[in-house]
Amino acid sequence: MTATIPSNLLKYDPNDLERLFNRLAQKVLSETRLESSTQRIAMHPAYQQIIGLGQPVVPLLLREVERKSGRWFWALKSITREDPVPKGDRGKTKKMTDAWLAWGKQQGYQW
């Protein structure tokens, strides 16, 4: 299933972008598997490259959050300059996931 990226945000061919994102995300996940520090994970070079891809990867990040991983909250905040997670829910992965997915849907993202 391919994520739908709003056409006004496209700077890359969607298939190339998704392949690049998947490669970088796999690198982050495999190389930080045992890391517990969110800050150190977010400073990983491949994680930083994902952030550098900007708005077009937001639906891909939301898809990853929905599938299995809260490791992408930092990237979402960095790219979107938003944080839909209420202060009382910070650190609660399920609630953070729900907040980001609801935000994504409200913004019109499809993944």
Provide the pLDDT for residue 49: 97
CA torsion sign for 6, 10, 76, 28 is positive
Q: Which residue has the higher pLDDT, 26 or 3?
A: 26
Q: Locate the domains of the chain by residue range.
A: 7-106
Q: What is the pLDDT of residue 31?
A: 96
Residues 31-89: pLDDT tens digits? 999 998 999 999 999 999 999 999 999 999 999 999 987 799 999 999 999 999 999 99
CA angle, 67 then 73 then 76, to 5°: 100
pLDDT higher at 6 or 48: 48
pLDDT at 97 over 90: yes
Distance CA 110, CA 14 (A): 13
> How far is residue 15 from each of residues 36, 77, 79, measured CA to CA in Å?
31, 24, 20
